[in-house]
Amino acid sequence: MGVTTKSVMIAGLLALCPALSAHADDLAILSAAAVRPALIEVPALFAKATGHHLTVTFGNATAIEDKVTAGGPVDLVILPALQVDDLIERRFLDQANRTALGVVRLGVAVRAGSPQPTIGTPDELRRTLLVAPSFGMADPADGSTSSTYLVKLIQELGIAEEMWIKTIFFPDGTKALEAVAKGDVALTIAPITSIRVVAGVDLAGPLPEGIQVKTVYVAALTRKASSQAAIALIEMLASPEVAALLKEKGVDPP
């Protein structure tokens, strides 16, 4: 983000939260890793606008849900909409303080400078996956949204037998992208937000329509997060300034 853009954003957030608090609160966010690149600057922006401190912990959706239901120390959660709404229904999150952040799509990543595969249709993607010498992805056992969908996609494309013998599983999607950058695997499929920030990889393109997954990520306060700082945080995340930051990082409007 350029200096001018950041200055404009801070000005907008200061207008949203005009008075810095005399007492600085410490707030905790648990967020799905797919939106990590879009949230990196949020703690500093929030501190500048309000004087409060944010700690953001990233992880897979299943682990985050487990922490929330176990009553862990968290003020705000960012997860796919279906999981947020389920946690609202189960009275862990607050419906009155819920805002949709945006949509994250999946894309194909290859090593920087390597030939771009043809993936414009489901059949073209299928052929690309079949001819790739190797494939990397996050271990489905981690419960991440992306890896869960990829298992389903590979099965639906009818290429599970061919793919699993040449697939290398990694602890998370970022590690798979880093392996592509080093040439350890030929390609991977990952959230476009993550592909854009890993050095040494190129975005070959999004998954084709028809098999693309468009995950809507939603932020919501926990039911015990009622401080003015927490309310200011959810209001900031719903602001046009943060929407512009999210769009710049590859999170499309909801």
* pLDDT tens per residue, range 132-142: 999 999 999 87
Domains of the chain: 3-103+216-248 (3.40.190.10), 104-206 (3.40.190.10)
Taking the C-alpha atoms of residue 126 and residue 156, their distance in angstroms, rounded to an integer, is 10
Q: What is the per-residue pLDDT across 202-228, written as a single tens digit (0 to 9) for each?
A: 999 999 999 999 999 999 999 988 788
Which residue would you say has higher pLDDT here, 242 or 9? 242
| pLDDT band of 18, cuts 50, 70, 90 | very low
* 58 CB-contact burial (10 Å; exposed 0-12 / middle 13-18 / buried 19+): middle
d(CA 190, CA 149): 10
Q: Convert the pLDDT of each residue in 83-92 to its tens digit.
A: 999 999 999 9
Inter-CA distances, 172 with 29, 116, 132, 144, 189, Å: 20, 24, 21, 8, 12
Q: Which two tokens stand for residue 58?
A: 């990233």
Kindly report, residue by residue over 143-187, the tens digit of the pLDDT.
Answer: 788 899 999 999 999 999 999 999 999 999 999 999 999 999 999
Q: What H or E segment, with its residue span, contains residue 82?
A: helix 81-89
The stretch 21-38 carries a mean pLDDT of 85
